[in-house]
Amino acid sequence: MTVLQALPAFEDNYIWCYRGSEGASIVVDPGDAGPVLGAVANGLRIEAIFITHHHNDHIGGLSALRGTFTGAVFGPEEDRIPGIDCIASNGDVLQIPGFQPFHVLAVPGHTRSHIAYTDRDVLFSGDTLFSLGCGRLFEGSPEQMLASLDRLAELPDDTLLCCTHEYTLSNARFAAAVEPINPDRDRLLEDIQARRLHGRPSLPSRIGIEKACNPFLRTDFPESLSGLKQYLGFMPESRLARFTALRAWKDQFR
Which positions lie near Zn ion, rule CB under 5 A?
55, 127
Adjacent-strand bridge partners of 4? 18
Residue 47 vs 127, nearer CB to Zn ion: 127
Of the candidates 3, 88, 19, the one whose C-alpha atom is nearest the C-alpha of residue 50 is 88
Half-sphere CA count of 196, side-chain side, radius 13 A? 14
Least distance in angstroms from the C-beta of 145 to Zn ion: 13
- Side chain identity, residue 167: Y
Residue 127 vs 210, nearer CB to Zn ion: 127
Residue 114 vs 206, nearer CB to Zn ion: 114
Q: Please name the residues in contact with 141: beta carbons below 8 A apart, sequence gap of 6 or more.
A: 109
Residue 125 vs 182, nearer CB to Zn ion: 125
Least distance in angstroms from the C-beta of 115 to Zn ion: 12
Distance CA 133, CA 181 (A): 17
Distance CA 160, CA 208 (A): 9
Least distance in angstroms from the C-beta of 15 to Zn ion: 14
